[in-house]
Structure 1
Amino acid sequence: MQKISGKSVQNGTAIGKIKVYTKIGTPVKRIHVNNAVAEILRVEKAVNQAIMDLQNLYKIAVNGAGEDSAAIFEVHQMMLEDEDYNDSIRNIIEHENVNAEFAVARTNEIFSDIFASMEDEYMKARAIDIKDISNRLIHILTGEEENILSDLKEKVILIADDLTPSETVQLEKSMILAFVTVHGSLTSHTAILARTMNIPALISVPIENINELDGKIGIIDGKEAVLYIEPDDNTIEFYEKAVLEEEVQKKLLLELRGKPTVTSDGKEIHLCANVGNIGDIAFAQSNDADGIGLFRSEFIYLGSKDYPTEEEQFQMYKQALQLMEKKKVIIRTCDIGADKQVDYFCMDKEENPALGYRAIRICLDRVDFFKTQLRALFRAAVFGSLSIMYPMIISLDEVKRIKEIVSEVQTELETSGIPYAKHVEQGIMIETPAAALISDELAREVDFFSVGTNDLTQYTLAIDRQNGKLDSLYDKHHRAILSLIKMAADNAHANGKWIGICGELGSDLELTKTFLDMGIDELSVSPGMILKVRKRIMEL
């Protein structure tokens, strides 16, 4: 028996035969050509075909994993249309008189190396996206079929050197028990897709001689981030019991749908869902969310090629409210910046983007942009129970300036005779130590707090949460973080305001009791965690 440790992308247990995924295709050869123009035309035709393929992949991903996860294929389309990328291919063909396949392969090496050499972990992970679009073009140019494992006859544990987003989304999920990759990162789009698909997965597993594993029996322990190869009888027996227990737990959780989230002594907690777009609301509803505790409006901007108009945003917010009927929907204003960059925002490169020009700082600097979103929000609020939440607050002056801009927007709507909701609940995120420390003053100016524990953790501990080298220091249960949350909760309640948690810690079952003891009024978690958290609360 061999035991190999890696990093867990998605918890869960799987036992089954291993299938090794190997990418087909012969190495691209350098061939001298006499007609460079013809080769450039071949590339242009291949790019158009690739974009059509990606549009089909987007539809598949939306149906299988939601719009949030499918967005990567829109990003890949934009990358295929990138001038620098295409200019590189054309220049290599023209200056070296080589075949289109070689020019694409050479451009892939150049751009992949650029991304891979970057210090930022998120940007490093984009190297796989460059490889994905380049391989797609080469497949089209050579006429080779992609090996998507669509003809599997039995359920398997899929092991690969790496998996691109398009490979992952096209897998027949009903035949995949789990997957393991030798490379990859926790912030890659593949990891995001794995979590959305709810498939147990490990990455960064140092497997040698990967092809020798094909057909062998394997076990994935997602919780402990371990892969077992050819396990002994005792190990198999232990994990077979774990698989059965997980199935029983899934069935028991389904019985909690429709039940109130109340502790055994009668304390009720609002249990809501975090979503990235309209498509995710179906997941929230199927898991019986009490409402939407965090609607990440920045994904509207990430999925657009230009600033979304007021009307486009209004229609999206209106649809979200109508889908949730009378349940509360808390929409966070645009939180672009840090690891969420948008080209058309034309922002300068920053040495420390997480500490830089982002979120409310952009909104208060680009007031017209901010007003466009606010107008759409106040107009949509007529159609349901909408609350607005402002991110990355560090001062009382920011809150007062926001209120001034809101007043201006309402006056503009009133003057124009456009229907809007005059009384909309407005709150702020507590995700900086500064906001927590002055939460007594802030509570007097807003209607509620929602704690963004991901950023609060990284700012309190001075640890970049995108940096995998610091994982051992990233202590989510650090007493300083819990003290700041407790301080914000006390100050909220002292001023008659409610407080929720919408960050990752909200779904940490080890802290559920701690948060209830603090008096936290609402927990907002990923849709797949709602029933698990409800079960935990009902046991307290």
Structure 2
Amino acid sequence: MLTLHQDDVLLACHAEDWRGALEQAAEALHRAGLTSPGYREGLFAREAQSSTYLGNAIAIPHGTPQSREHVQDTGVRVLQFPAGVDWHDGQRVHVLVAIAARSDEHLDILRQLTHVLDDDSVAERLAAAGSGNEIAALLSKAVVDARLDGDTLCLGFPARDARELALAGAARLRQLGCVGDGFIAAIAEHAPLHLGQGLWLASSGSSVEVPALALATPEHPLKQADETVNGLFCLAAHGEAHRGLLECILRLLERGSAGELQGADAATILARLAGESATAHTRLARVLNAHGLHARPAKQLVQVARSQAVPIRVRLAEGGVDAVSASSLTKVINLGARRGQQLAFSAEGDGAVAALDAVCQAVADGLGEQVLPFDESRERIIPQADAAPAEPLPDDTPHAGVAASPGLAISPVFVLQTPRFDYPERAADPGAETQRLEQAIRQGAVQLETLVQQARGGEVAQILSMHEEMLCDPELYQAAHEGISEGRSAEAAWWDAIETAAHAQEMLADRLLAERAADLRDVGRRVLGILCDVTLPAPPTTPYILVTDDIGPSDVARLDTSLVRGLLTARGGATAHSAILARALGIPAVVGAGARVLTLADGTELILDGERGRITPTPSAERRQAAEQRLAERQQREAAAWDTRFEEARTRCGHRVEVAANLGNTIHAADAVERGAEGVGLLRTEFLFMAHAQEPDLATQIDEYREALDALDGRPLVARTLDVGGDKPLPYWPMPKEDNPFLGLRGIRLMLTRPEVLETQLRALLLAAAPVPGKPRPLRIMLPMIKDIAEFRAARAIFDRLLEEIPEAERASDVQLGIMIEVPSAALLAPALAAEVDFFSVGTNDLTQYTLAIDRDHPELSAQADGLHPAVLRLIEMTVTAAHAHGKWVGVCGELASDPMAVPVLVGLGVDELSVSARQVPLVKARLREFDLEKARTQAGLALAQATSTAVRDALEVR
């Protein structure tokens, strides 16, 4: 939330023209550390597109989307021009509110400024203000959004009187986090107030976090003191913020529309509360603008609405009951509509249909901006059953998928088709259906608890425990219960609740959350299977490769690893929980291979290569023999490597290359040491943050990092600072949806927007690594997604300050601060970075996808995202050369570090450390002993001389 301070205000500025004023605004943002100098061009480019004059002598200059790379922190600088400046659109401006914002944050800033447009005297007062505090007070106004949406409705509740309805509404608000227990207690103490027309009201201001209005309607007609009870409003009052909610109720009563709520669905109720009568014409239009309804498209919409013959009102279709005049710029901007959200327009009278057609067409055309169609597939899951049958896979022909878990398997396949659940949509006895659902949920919880106890590996237990929590989610149960109360069967109501929740999660961000929605469906199918008495077909009792459309984490955990040789799925990605668990269980896996894999007949022989992401059905005798030889050699290598796992990692000629482990959980540090790891080369600290419902505090983080350091027993720990963002969001750190989160606010970019989070993590790492007598604790901290020296310096300033603040005896004494090389710009700028960083660690997964512009989890392109591409290798070579020139070391922590073909190439390029999954440590050590440094350099030179990754692999295979 934006909070203006007097230090943000520059008084008594003077400019000859608007260009001079804009120059001063750009300089003010740069001096404040909010932007780099390049942001200036973005400010002028924005004005060239359209004036940023807001109204009442205020302009709000901000950059174009392309200039956001120059934004270092979100904030504003306010410049006062008492004599005024003639803006380029003919308006007179006294105040510039210059905005620096990443993503769509400027919309939230803008919403807090629009209240000044309702005050005609504000321009004169801003021009005459004599202090920064006075201007800040005039402009600042915290926006408190009162809540009234589909989730606050509790329809068809089986209550016996109005008090029970009041408590049902209060409980719903508590579930949504709007109120605390004190609110429910206050509602219980007082009798509801009769409003007339069968409506009642219960309200309180106790323990209110968010002002909100719930509506509870009875399952059957009720009477209270001889008065009809058609519905009861439960109001969480908060200052003046709930006034609009009361106005919704008042509009309903004034129109005499309360009777229309009886038996109505949620959409109708929200429309009536928004003031839309039963005779009003309505239209929906989806916002297609990349950055939502910011000032410029909002102006266009207002102009179109004003030109119509009848008044038009508009609200957010999902969750918005505050219908406002579409002719008011202030009101339209305050809707805060984002790309993809639907606007509900309404109008009455002659010409209403034509007016609505006009505004909806304007929205569809982009409101003066070029727009792209909205991807409807992101909103609705298309049933696969209606798709055309896929062509069978040809015999003895390699077919590409996504490499999800390393290893090689040769076995017959067992094709597990997704079970079909047949159930009635409606049921006559809600009580019996509720009882069936409750029993199925309890039975599902027992099943999951059994799987947790049997689970092997920390990731398995953690993810299945998360499934237990999902199953016990009261909101899921409540949503299903409401469906049952409306006459739906337990199965239909439960699956609708699951789909709604999964769909909502998919819409929050891109791939990672979409794949986490699969967890919800996995939980949902478990209960649905119990309700429908559907059991999966029994797998073979002999070794097999499991083939399925997609597989839930609990299904993976159930696999008998003594029989399952591999896993192949038509859908899914390498970051899905099922893929993570396959790696944890050591099962080779290829995912996202397409619907054609489902055409395989049971018993078809298959070669599955989990390292290359390839499958070959019905292989020829020659191909099968070659694969069997590879498998036998691999098994022999694994056995020999295990016996020598504690030997120091060196090439045949004695050249030292450290081999460390990549960890996602500190609890596995001891296991990594047991497998021969010479340290931890990548600790993904985001899993610690993801494992908590709230941000872990300092003490929690210290304990977690100390556990890994204790297990390492003097070996180095390389910890990556929190690496989350649009593709890896945290539930307690909400972020706006981004069209391309991999190019958005993530990694160090995100952390620098909340420097206090980064500071706490750095402090925890430094304190956890304090030396113990006789036990060194080498600590290496690396920063993700660094693109240039400015980002590193910003983080280094916090790091250096902590080194000064914390007494030397209480913090790490052997500590280095380095960066990940994941962005091509960092490799290209390696000479400048190497002068200041302590080390580099190359994240080849991201470096490859950014260099080649290929999503490494793309079902069709992922096979081409090969880290052995010569372009990627050249970037690694540049990085190593620059680092060694400054006496710094370089590690590789991406998947390429464990690729047997890539290991000598990386060593030949001069890489000093290879960090791989703990299971791969013995094999990588063994691979190093198979070649000497001279051969490695030859291999590296040969690879660099090729034109494609395929040519690289072909050349290396020949050698």
- Same fold at TM > 0.5: yes
Contact 2:786 2:821 in 1 (8 A): yes
In 1, are the aligned partners of 2:645 and 2:925 still within 8 Å (CA)?
A: no
Cα distance in 1 for residues equivalent to 2:422 and 2:666 = 42
Q: What is the CA deviation profile of residues 66-117 of structure 1, one whole-angstrom value per residue up to 9, with x for unaligned ones?
A: 323444334434544667655542342233x122222112344555667789
**SS of corresponding position for 1:281:** helix
Aligned length: 528
User: In structure 2, do the counterparts of structure 1 residues 118 and 320 end up closer, same or farther at CA, with 3 Å as the change threshold?
Assistant: closer
1:280 to 668, 684, 692: 668
Equivalent of 2:615 in 204, 226, 237: 226
- The answer to whether the aligner puts 1:357 opposite 2:745 as a matched pair is yes
Correspondence 1:302 to 2:716: no
C-alpha offsets along residues 98-142 of structure 1, whole Å, 9 cap, x if unaligned? 222221123445556677899944444345323211112224445
Deviations 1:363-388 (A, max 9, x none): 22212211221121111111522221
User: Which residue is 1:131 aligned to?
Assistant: 521
Cross-structure match for 2:493 = 103
Q: CA deviation at 1:308?
A: 0.9
Separation in 2, partners of 1:2, 1:466: 25
| 3-state SS, counterpart of residue 345 of structure 1 | coil
- Give the Cα separation in 2 of the matches to 1:235 and 1:490: 41
Distance 2:790 2:507 in 1: 40
Alpha-carbon offset, residue 353 of structure 1: 1.1
Return the match for 1:57 from 436, 451, 458. Answer: 451
Distance 2:856 2:622 in 1: 38
Amino acid in the other structure paired with 2:576: S
In the aligned structure 2, how far is the partner of 1:13 from the partner of 1:517? Answer: 27
Distance 1:47 1:244, change over 3 A: same
Q: Structure 1 residue 330 and structure 2 residue 724: aligned?
A: no
Q: C-alpha distance in 1, partners of 2:721/2:762?
A: 8
Partner of 2:652: 264
Distance 1:118 1:305, change over 3 A: closer
Residue 171 of structure 1 corresponds to 559
Give me the whole-angstrom Cα distance separating, in 1, the residues matched to 2:608 and 2:632: 14
* Inter-partner Cα distance in structure 1 for 2:620 and 2:813: 67
Residue type at the aligned position of 2:519: D
User: Deviation string for 1:427-466 (max 9, x for gaps)?
Assistant: 1112112222222222222211111112222222233333
Question: AA paired with 2:583?
Answer: R
* Partner Cα distance (1:536, 1:498) in 2: 21
The one-letter code of the counterpart of 2:615 is: V
Residues of 1 paired with 2:598 and 2:757: CA distance? Answer: 53
DSSP-derived class of the 1:435 partner:
helix
Q: Could you say if the C-alpha distance between residues 225 and 141 of structure 1 is closer, same or farther in structure 2, counting changes exceeding 3 Å?
A: same
Q: Which amino acid aligns with 2:829?
A: I
Q: CA deviation at 1:42?
A: 5.4
Mean CA deviation greater in 17-26 or 439-448: 17-26
Matches of 2:441 and 2:557 in 1, distance apart?
20
8 Å CA contact 1:68–1:279 kept in 2: the answer is: no
Once the 2 structures are TM-superposed, how far is the Cα of residue 487 of structure 1 from its aligned partner?
1.5
Cα contact 2:726–2:737 (8 A) shared by 1: no
Cα distance in 1, alignment partners of residues 547 and 856 from structure 2: 27
Aligned 8 A contact 2:787 2:825 in 1: yes
Q: Aligned AA for 1:392?
A: M
Question: Which deviations, in whole Å up to 9, do the C-alpha atoms of 1:190-231 show, x marking residues without a partner?
Answer: 122222222233443645886x944x36333325722535x7
- Structure 1 counterpart of 2:790: 397
Identity %: 34
**1:344 aligned residue:** 732
- Equivalences for 1:498-509 in 2 at 5 Å? 498-509=889-900
Structure 2: distance between partners of 1:235 and 1:440:
47
> Which of 360, 369, 388 is the aligned partner of 2:781?
388
Following superposition, the deviation at residue 422 of structure 1 comes to 4.6
Q: Is the 8 A contact 1:20 1:213 kept in 2?
A: yes
Query: In the alignment, what sits opposite 2:707?
Result: 319
Query: How far did residue 240 of structure 1 move?
Result: 4.5
Which shifted more, 240-249 or 328-337? 240-249
Unaligned runs of 5+ in 2: 1-393, 933-959
Contact 1:180-1:205 within 8 A present in 2 as well? no
* Alpha carbons 1:498, 1:521 under 8 Å: kept: yes
The 10-residue stretch of structure 1 (476-485 or 368-377) with the greater mean CA deviation from structure 2: 476-485
What SS is found at the alignment partner of 1:159?
Answer: strand
1:29 pairs, out of 424, 434, 444, with 424
Q: CA deviation at 1:297?
A: 0.5
Q: Which shifted more, 302-311 or 108-117?
A: 108-117
User: What's the CA shift for 1:495?
Assistant: 1.1
Tell me, yes or no, if structure 1 residue 492 matches structure 2 residue 883: yes
Cα 1:98–1:177 change in 2 (3 A) is same
Decide whether the 8 Å contact of 1:148 with 1:170 is kept in 2: no
Pick which of 200-209 and 173-182 moved more. 200-209
Query: AA paired with 2:918?
Result: P
- Higher mean C-alpha displacement, 85-94 vs 480-489: 85-94
Distance in 2 (alpha carbons) for counterparts of 1:93 and 1:274: 47
The structure in which a higher percent of residues are helix is: 1
Query: What letter matches 2:569 in structure 1?
Result: T
Match of 1:454 in 2: 845
Q: 1:341 to 1:239 in 2, by over 3 A?
A: same
Matches within 5 A, 1:343-492: 343-382=731-770, 383=772, 384-414=777-807, 419-471=810-862, 473-492=864-883
The one-letter amino acid of 2:847's match is: L
Cα distance 1:176–1:133, how it changes in 2: closer, same or farther (>3 A)?
A: same
Residues 152-231 of structure 1 mapped to structure 2, 5 A cutoff: 153-203=541-591, 204=593, 206=595, 213-214=601-602, 216=603, 218-222=605-609, 225-229=614-618
- Does the Cα contact within 8 Å between 1:339 and 1:353 map onto a contact in 2? yes
Q: Is the 8 A contact 1:165 1:190 kept in 2?
A: yes
Q: SS of the residue aligned with 2:790?
A: helix
Q: Deviations over 1:404-443 (max 9, x none)?
A: 21233345444xx992225522211121122222222222
Shift of 1:327: 0.7
Q: In 2 relative to 1, CA 145–379 (structure 1 residues): closer, same or farther, beyond 3 Å?
A: farther
Query: What is the RMSD of the two structures over their aligned residues, measured on CA atoms?
Result: 3.2
Q: Tell me the equivalent position of 2:916.
A: 525
**How far 1:31 moved relative to its partner?**
3.4
Counterparts of 1:81-96 in structure 2, within 5 Å, are: 85-86=476-477, 88-95=479-486
Shift of residue 2, structure 1, vs aligned partner: 4.6
State how far apart, in whole Å, the 1-side matches of 2:661 and 2:846 are: 18
- Residue type matched to 2:838 in 1? D
Would the alpha carbon gap of residues 431 and 399 (structure 1) be closer, same or farther in structure 2, given more than 3 Å must change? same
- Tell me, in whole angstroms, the C-alpha distance in 1 between the residues paired with 2:598 and 2:752: 54
Q: 1:9 to 1:411 in 2, by over 3 A?
A: closer
Partner residue, 2:165: none
Counterpart of 1:350 in structure 2: which amino acid? E
**Change in CA separation of 1:11 and 1:424 when aligned onto 2, cut-off 3 Å:** closer
Question: Secondary structure, in 3 states, of the residue corresponding to 1:469?
Answer: coil
Question: Displacement of 1:169 after TM fit?
Answer: 0.5
SS at match of 2:463: helix
Greater CA drift, 507-516 or 164-173: 507-516
Greater relative contact order, per chain length (Cα 8 Å cut-off, separation 6+)? 1
Does the 8 A contact of 1:429 with 1:452 survive in 2? yes
Alpha-carbon separation, structure 1, partners of 2:880 and 2:905: 12
When residues 534 and 474 of structure 1 are mapped into structure 2, their CA distance, relative to the original with a 3 A threshold, is same
